[in-house]
Amino acid sequence: MTYQHSYAQSIADPAAFWAEQASHLAWYRAPTQTLQDNPDGTHRWFADGSLNSCYLALDHQIEQGRGEQLALIYDSPVTATQRTFTYHQLRDEVARLAGLLRQLGVGKGDGVIIYMPMVPEAAMAMLACARIGAVHSVVFGGFAANELALRIDDARPTLLLTASCGLEFDRVIEYKPLVDRALQLARHQPGHVLVLQRPQVAAPLQAGRDLDWQQALASAEPVAPVALEAGDPLYIMYTSGTTGKPKGIVRENGGNAVALRYAMQHIYGMQAGDVWWGISDVGWVVGHSLIVYGPLMSGCTTVFYEGKPIRTPDAAAYWRVVEQYRVNALFCAPTAMRAIRKEDPDGELLRRHDLGSLRQLFLAGEKLDSSTHEWLERVSGKPVHDHWWQTETGWPVTAPCVGLEGSAARPGSSNRAVPGYHVQVLDDDGHLLGPNHQGSIVIALPLPPGCSQTLWGDHERYLQAYLHTYPGYYHTGDGGYLDDDGFVYIMGRTDDVINVSGHRLSTGEMEDLVARHPTVAECAVIGVHDDIKGQVPLALVVLKDGESIAESQLLVELVGSVREAIGALACFNRVRVVKRLPKTRSGKILRAVLRKIADGQDYTPPSTLDDPAVLGEIEAVLADLPRAG
Ligand code: AMP
């Protein structure tokens, strides 16, 4: 099947195309209805299909003869541990954990929060929820108590699963105090907190509420997967929107299973028996699609890595893993490769490892800059591909489809739309733009299977955020253009979301925190260029009249409050005091101009600018910022 043929068919007749893809799945009851329109513009995929995602990821693989194949390889340089699980072993662990969850009162449709480091039990927890139809929501371990509390109140979990600690290089981060604090802040309280005690730290348990994971598991009985409707939610993944309240992206079982099977095979070129490494964390969408569900549902061996690109112990860590487990393809974020490049610019460490098994590397999460792209291809000698997706879509929107004939890759672009995605570019008035014209990147409806069709408990917000801006299209929030051959170039967000080390963060949320400081009259937080992290936040602050505070003191206090409320992952450590902010005559802060000044780019003062003199003042204050090389 060629890329061109698949793509054309997927757009001309999405129902026929996806019915064919769905027919390859081991449904309990195969769907007879493929695609239905809802009156509000959303869609239902495979409405009458019945399946179980955990069954597809484990039991079905065993039925296919893969019981003794490795399902998951846990490699943890931070604890000097390596453990492997065959499909049989992983299924047995998951079935028993699912039995424990049920014993603790978790049933179909109940929320379960998983706040855990990269230990295999985190993957088991996700799969155990899927087995009994509970809806998991993994919260990234780097998030502070306040962020966890927001998610607890939104997901209203029956149970919260955590571990005593996570490990950052050689630093132990205790999780339990964060969980306790979050539960003090949250209005909703889960019935129990299940705590995995790691050897590095023993977490104190609160009698009645907290349970020791291993002890509780000892008496649990394995349970079988339950039959779920295709539209039943598999998980909630919170992502930053433009406000402080995170959006609970909902992923459905049916669409997800069909889409991930398609993606693993046709985009990433993976077959059953291959070794796949999704380098990320279970706390992100990649962790769901490319560490747990995608590779396991495809019968691959998934590498589960608790370590960093550098300093665990060095910049050869990734290459050591590739060699040791004969990894066939990997996914990672550009920021990780930039960190490796900084320490091993000539690839000397890389060359000490045999990368013979590796077919290609896929990068996403932020734009793959051409310098890193060229460097990585040169030192690895492998094809390196940029591809683009979002938490909302759950799988790539644009990518080279290495499993389809006739698929091409074009360095510098995020490649072409994947079958199923009708990617187009619109101007501000919603008119279609031709090739090489920059505008808002949209996807003509229907979105293919797997893409989120609602937000947890707030369907209206979904419609507002994604479908109402341009009727008939899904609004991605990214700007960019297509070239003459349909290759897509992503230029960045058009809203107030920034991307720090591939993690999406809301500048609006940071502005709220900065504005709460008693000396601050108003502020703007923007994303500015960073050589390693891609972007980092910069706060421009106007002090209240009569207030004076040393910039260094203000920095310390603001860094403290952002860390406390969001977490260290925000990398918030730049603050500049300015006399005033550039605004439109109607009083809107012109953040796009601020971004350009901060990054040292050329700009045209917007015609709506109230007082052009302000730009010179800002330029002077920001003159010493590091600039894009
Ligand atoms: P997230 O939902 O956290 O995965 O973030 C999705 C956002 O990250 C997208 O909307 C883009 O702004 C950005 N992004 C992801 N992959 C790429 C890429 N390959 N090129 C440019 N931006 C990307």
Residue 129 has pLDDT above 90, yes or no: yes
Return the ligand 1 atom nearest residue 504 CA: 3
Give the residue, by CA position, lying nearest to ligand 1 atom 7: 390
Ligand 1 atom closest to Cα of residue 398:
19
The CA 389 to ligand 1 mean position distance, Å, reads 6
CB 547 within 8 A of CB 572: no
For residues 488 and 440, give the distance between their C-alpha atoms in angstroms, rounded to a whole number: 12
What are residue 85's DSSP bridge partners? 72
Residue 40's closest CA among 476, 449, 475, 454?
A: 454
Lining residues, ligand 1, CB within 6 Å: 239, 285, 364-367, 386-388, 390-391, 414, 476-478, 490, 493, 499, 504
Pocket test for ligand 1, best of 504, 507, 535, 595 (most atoms within 8 A of CB): 504
- 24 lies in some domain: no
Q: Which two tokens stand for residue 12?
A: 């001309």
pLDDT (tens digit, 9 = 90+) per residue, 568-621?
A: 999 999 999 999 999 877 667 888 889 999 999 988 887 778 788 999 999 999
Would you say residue 599 lies in a domain?
Answer: yes
Pairing of strands 360-363, 329-332: parallel
Which position has the higher pLDDT, 548 or 243?
Answer: 548
CB contact set of 279 (below 8 Å; sequence gap of 6+): 305, 309, 318, 330, 331, 332, 333, 336
Residue 591, domain member (yes or no) = yes
In degrees, rounded to 5, the angle at the alpha carbon of residue 471 between the alpha carbons of residues 470 and 475 is: 40
For the CA of 285, the nearest atom of ligand 1: 4
Measure the CA angle with vertex 472, ends 467 and 476; round to 5°: 45
The reported pLDDT for the residue numbered 555 is 96
Residue among 134, 185, 137 nearest 162 (CA): 137
Element holding 275 (H helix, E strand): strand 275-278
Q: What distance in angstroms lies between residue 164's CA and the mean position of ligand 1's atoms?
A: 31
Query: Coil, strand or helix: which one is 347?
Result: coil
Percent helix / strand / coil, the chain, rounded to 5: 35, 25, 40
User: Whose CA is closest to atom 14 on ligand 1?
Assistant: 366
The 10 Å Cβ neighbour count of residue 549 is: 17
Q: Helices (DSSP H) in 234-362: which residue ranges?
A: 253-262, 285-286, 294-297, 317-325, 334-343
CA-CA distance, 305 to 414, in Å (whole number)? 26
* Closest-CA residue to 399 (of 336, 338, 329, 469): 329
Vertex 455 angle, CA 116 and 226, to 5°: 65
- In this structure, what are the phi and psi dihedrals at residue 489, rounded to the nearest 5 degrees? -120, 115
CATH number at residue 552: 3.30.300.30
Q: Tell me the Ramachandran region of residue 567: left when phi exceeds 0, alpha when psi lies from -120 to 50, beta otherwise.
A: left
Among the atoms of ligand 1, which is closest to the Cα of residue 490? Answer: 21
Ramachandran angles phi, psi of 555, nearest 5°: -60, -50
The residue contributing the CA closest to ligand 1 atom 23 is 366
pLDDT score for 491: 82
Give the model confidence (pLDDT) of 187-236 as tens digits: 999 999 999 999 999 999 999 999 999 999 999 999 999 999 999 999 99
CA–centroid distance, residue 498 to ligand 1 (Å): 10
CA distance 131 to 56: 10
Residue 561 within any structural domain of the chain: yes
Ligand 1, residues 138, 389, 398: which to mutate, most atoms within 8 A of Cβ?
389
CA of 495 to the centre of ligand 1 (A): 13
> What is the phi/psi pair of residue 93, to 5°?
-60, -45
| Phi, psi dihedrals of residue 457, rounded to the nearest 5° | 70, 10
504 C-alpha to ligand 1 centroid (Å): 8
Does the pLDDT value for residue 629 go beyond 60?
no
Query: Ligand 1: distance of its center to the CA of 623 in Å?
Result: 28
The answer to whether 73 and 302 are in contact (CB under 8 A) is: yes
Instruction: Count other C-beta atoms under 10 Å from residue 187's C-beta.
Output: 8
Is-contact 509 243, C-beta < 8 A?
A: yes
The tokens of 458 are what?
């707030």
All residues at 6 or more sequence positions from 459 whose CB lies less than 8 Å from its CB, including other chains: 40
* Distance, CA of 459 to CA of 448 (rounded, Å): 18
Q: Which two tokens stand for residue 237?
A: 């993944």
Give a yes or no: residue 564 inside a domain.
yes
Please state the domain count of the chain: 1
Our mutation pick for probing the ligand 1 site, out of 362, 393, 481, 499, counting the most ligand atoms within 8 A of Cβ, is 499
Ligand 1 atom closest to Cα of residue 503:
3
**Burial (Cβ within 10 Å: 0-12, 13-18, ≥19) of residue 171:** exposed
* 446 preceded by a cis bond (ω within 30 of 0): yes
Tally DSSP H helices, then E strands, for the chain.
Answer: 20, 29
For ligand 1, the distance from its centroid to the CA atom of residue 365, given in whole angstroms, is 4
Measuring from atom 15 of ligand 1, which residue has the nearest CA? 365
Is there a contact between 307 and 332 (Cβ–Cβ < 8 Å)?
no
370-415 per-position pLDDT tens digit: 889 999 999 999 999 999 999 999 999 999 999 999 999 999 899 9
Position 244 scores a pLDDT of: 67
Q: Which atom of ligand 1 is nearest to the CA of 363?
A: 19
Closest residue by CA, ligand 1 atom 16:
365
Provide the pLDDT for residue 522.
85
Strand partners, 500: 503, 534
pLDDT given at position 515: 86
Which residue from 385, 316, 310 is spatially nearest to 351, judged by alpha carbons?
316
Alpha-carbon distance 72 to 304, whole Å? 7
Q: Which atom of ligand 1 is nearest to the CA of 391?
A: 2
Beta strands in 5-64 (DSSP E): 35-37, 43-45, 50-51
Domain interval for residue 586: 501-621
What is the model's pLDDT at position 496? Answer: 78
Q: 119 falls in which pLDDT band (50, 70, 90)?
A: very high
At residue 584, the pLDDT reads: 76
Q: What is the Å distance from ligand 1's center to 55 Cα? A: 30
What is the value of pTM for the model shown? 0.91
- In the reported structure, the alpha carbon of residue 572 is separated from the centroid of ligand 1 by a whole-number distance in angstroms of 20
Sheet holding 192-196, edge to edge: 210-212, 192-196, 157-163, 111-115, 135-138, 233-239, 247-252
* Rounded mean pLDDT, 362-377: 91
174-188, 306-320, 496-510: which range is least confident on average?
Answer: 496-510
CA-nearest residue for atom 5, ligand 1, is 390
Across the range 4-15, mean pLDDT stands at: 98
| Cα 388 to middle of ligand 1, angstroms | 6
**How much is the mean pLDDT over the chain?**
95
Q: How confident is the model at residue 242 (pLDDT cuts 50, 70, 90)?
A: low
Q: Is residue 515 part of a domain?
A: yes
Backbone angles phi, psi at 125, to 5 degrees: -60, -45
- The sign of the CA dihedral 404, 410, 411, 412 is negative
Query: For 56, phi and psi rounded to 5 degrees?
Result: -65, -35
Question: Does residue 33 lie in a domain region?
Answer: no
Q: Hey, whose CA ends up nearest to atom 21 of ligand 1?
A: 367
Task: Work out the average pLDDT over 456-460.
Answer: 97
How many whole angstroms from 194 Cα to the centroid of ligand 1? Answer: 33
Residue 182, phi then psi, degrees to nearest 5: -60, -40
Ligand 1 atom 6, closest CA: 390
pLDDT of amino acid 256: 98
**What pLDDT is stored for residue 628 in this prediction?**
58
- 492, pLDDT greater than 90: no
Q: Which of 490, 506, 535, 595 to mutate to test the pocket of ligand 1 (most atoms within 8 A of CB)?
A: 490
**Tokens representing residue 258 in the block:** 């069909």
Crossing angle of helices 507-515/551-565, nearest 10°? 120
User: Which element (helix H / strand E) includes 117?
Assistant: none
> Is residue 588 domain-resident?
yes
Q: Which of 246, 259, 340 is nearest to 297 (CA)?
A: 259
pLDDT of residue 243: 66
Residue 359's nearest CA partner among 377, 392, 383, 341 is 383
pLDDT of residue 386: 97
Joined together, the tokens standing for residue 510 give 């940071």
Residue 409 CA to ligand 1 centre (angstroms):
18
3 state SS of 121: helix
Q: Which helix (H) or strand (E) holds 155?
A: helix 145-155
Cα Rg of the chain (Å, integer): 24
Q: Is the peptide bond before 313 cis (omega within 30 degrees of 0)?
A: yes
